[in-house]
Each structure stands twice: as C-alpha cells, then as structure tokens.
A = this chain, B = another copy of it.
Amino acid sequence: MSNLTISADRLAGRIEELGRLGRDEQGRLVRVATSDMDRLGRDRFVGWLQEAGLDVAVDRIGNIFGIWQDDTNAGQPPVMLGSHIDTVIDAGIYDGCYGVLAGLEAIESLKEAGFAPARPIVVAAFTNEEGVRYAPDMMGSLVFAGGRNLEEALAAIGTDGSVLGKELERIGYAGQHQPGFLKPYAYVELHVEQGPVLEREGIAIGAVENLQGISWQRIVIDGVANHAGTTPMSMRQDAGVAAARVISFLADRASASPTPTVATVGTIAFEPNAINVIPSRATFTIDLRDPDEMHLREEEMALAAFIDELAASAGVTVHAESLARFEPVTFDARIVSLIEEGARAAGLSCRRMTSGAGHDAQMIARIAPSAMIFVPSRGGISHNPAEFTAAVHLAAGANILLGVAARLAAD
C-alpha cells in the first residue's frame, strides 16, 4: 500500500472551491447548518461524490454518505471516513471540510489505483457539527450513533426561531435513510488541529488518542430594571453586572486550573438593552471543557456554587440550563497505532495528543472503533478566516488517512 498516494492538487483545489461557496455580502464564510449557504456546500459535495462514482445516501437527520462498494464486499460493515461541512459564522475553509474532502480523496485514489477492499469504504459529512444555529453541536453524528432521539433533534429550535427538521426539508436534505443504517466497522476522522501544539513542536501528524469533555450551559440572570441615573448603586439588582462577575470568575478560574481547562462565554444579551436602563435580564452561554471528567465536574460545581453566592449577594435570581454535556472520549488503541505506523512509514514526525475540540468522532466512537488524525494549524487559529494549514501538511494527513483506511478495509 505504501506507494499508493492521494492527489494533493485535486484535494487542495476542492478545499478551495468549497471554501468559496456560502459567503455573505461581506465575504464571510457562513455555511451555518441547514441554511441556504449550507445547501450550496452540500450540493457541490454530492456532485463530487457522483463524479467519483460513489453511491450517495442521505439519512433523516441530513447526514450525507458517499459509499464505495461492489458485489464482493457489499453488506460488510464499512470503513467510514468523515467529518462535517457546516461552518461557524465567518469561518475558515479547513475545519471539517478537510476531513470530508480528504476522505473522498482517499476513496477516489484507492478506486483509481484498482485497490480491492474487503469491505466498503464510506465518506460521511455529518449535519450541524458546529452547533451555531442549533444545539447541541455534533448533532448529526450524535443522532447517527443513537445518542439522541431523531424526532427531538428534528424539532430543535434555532437561534433564529427556525426548526431544524423544516429547514432540512426546505434545503432538500431530509433524507429517507434511518440514522445508523450503516454500521461502521471503524471510523477515522482527519482534521486540522485548531490548536497550537503541532506547529509549536514542529510535528507533522497528531495521533489523537482521546478527546476532552464538554459542558455547555445557558445562564439566565434576572434582576430589576431601573433608572440608570436615579438608582443608587447600593439599591441596584443589576443583571448585567452579575453576568460580568460570572464571566470574570470563569476566565480567572480556568486560567488558574492545573488541568488544561478552557471556559468561554461566546454569546450574551441584555434586556431591555437600553443605554439608560439597568439590565433586568442577562442571558449568556458557557462553553466549559476539560480532558479529565472528574475535574470537569469540579469546574461545573464551582460555577454552580459561585452562582448561588452571587444570587444572594447581588439580589438577582439565576437559572442555569445544560445545553450539552459530553464526557471525555478515549479512542481505539489499534487505530491510533495504525496512524503512528503510517506516519513512521512515511517518515513523518508524529505525536499522540488530546483533542481540545469536540468532533463527530467522539459520537461515532459510541458505535465503532474510532480515532482521529490531526495536522498543524498555523498559529492554532480556527473558527476564524485566518485559519490556515499548508498544502504539504494537508497532503501528508490525507495520505496517512488513505493508508489507515486501506489497512482497515483489508481486514
């Protein structure tokens, strides 16, 4: 297999072409899940699957599958390669798309080389991995893995009040297949690191052996609206100031954590949101992550305790709601080893690492042996138009993916 390689130009060309689809009037990449922009990306991807001669299947949650099988291996549990093509608002072009297009590239290259796999190889693009418009994130792979009820997911209400199921129908991606209709023999996801480790250490390939736990919460703080000019500071029940205390507490505590805890408040809104009125309500979200489940729980408990004290001292009421909660995931040891062996055989530097981000792989790991491959992200920047990975790294990662897929498909 070692002399089999992907076409670096075809892969890079497709990543760039897909990255041009779904731009708003300011030029920002905004292929948010199940939007018209997402549809543009999905349509192009399906076109490529068809050009590659793969069977296209879409399930009821909108996951798209390109299936390479023949009479000799049809019906065997497939090797699945995949990720997602939905994006955040003002995204880079690599997050998710790289893994999906590299999976297609690996299959096409093996097909063109006349490789005869003992089992089907499938490339998957999962719905709403980013969770920008609908919570939770990684929804498509979660439903596919049976971790969330399909009807519940289809009924998800978006930040814009839209309903996911209706949006899927509207853009033509409410498929016929039941999620989980394919039972993967193994799952491998290639992704840009979205962090600074590989670049800083000058390492080409990350063999991802585990993934940190994620806790998403929505916090609603209720105080009392009052006149900004006539209400003495001592008589205020200011929901906005209380929210600021929580944001500062989270940042200070995560910064001081012995484990690589990260805490982010990415969204916020005040009511009535008037310059001369003390906020009566502050609503914001918390994204808390830690690779150690016990420590993640400690962080959640510390937050809850701080909120209780705050409610008493600031004269506000606080409601916390969990939007998503995933424990840390340990990936399949054999696949992680295959990634390391592939890197060694290709003469590429490699290290084992933890994924800081959530990925579809953590969901598929519930139903099949899974692992991930990382390549360097310049400056560790992601979820930002400055996201960048050099072509040489993109090609190297895709070749490792091809090798691991071929090895697993030979079982």
> Which residues of A are in contact with B by a Cβ distance under 8 Å?
88-90, 130-132, 135, 137, 193-196, 212, 214, 216, 224-235, 238, 240-241, 243-245, 247-248, 251, 254-255, 257, 260-270, 272-280, 285, 287, 289, 323, 355-358, 380-384
Contacts and interface: CB of A to CB of B under 8 A. Distances in A.
A262 B384 contact: no
A275 B131 contact: yes
Contact of A225 (B90, B196, B241): B90
Contact of A358 (B89, B90, B229): B229
B195 A356 contact: no
A225 B383 CA distance: 7
A220 to B, nearest CB: 14
15 contacts: A135-B275, A193-B230, A196-B231, A224-B381, A226-B380, A229-B289, A240-B247, A244-B248, A266-B275, A266-B276, A266-B279, A267-B273, A267-B274, A275-B285, A278-B383
A274 B382 contact: no
Given A226-B381, A323-B275, A357-B227, A266 B240 contact: yes
A81 B357 CA distance: 63
Specify the main secondary structure of chain A where it touches its partner: loop
A323 B275 CA distance: 10
A119 to B, nearest CB: 33
Contacts of A278: 264, 266, 383
Contacts of A280: 384
Contact of A194 (B225, B227, B262): B227
A240 B264 CA distance: 9
7 residue pairs, one from A and one from B, having the closest CB atoms: A195-B230, A230-B356, A244-B247, A228-B264, A229-B357, A244-B244, A89-B272
Contacts of A383: 225-228, 274, 276-278
Contacts of A267: 270, 273-275
B248 A248 contact: yes
Contact of A254 (B233, B272, B384): B233
A245 to B, nearest CB: 6
Contact of A226 (B235, B251, B272, B384): B384
A357 B230 contact: yes
A250 B120 CA distance: 62
B251 A88 contact: no
A30 to B, nearest CB: 9
Contact of A241 (B229, B251, B355): B251
A130 B240 CA distance: 20
A248 B251 contact: no
A19 to B, nearest CB: 17
A257 B234 CA distance: 11
Nearest to A282: B268
Contacts of A382: 226-227, 230
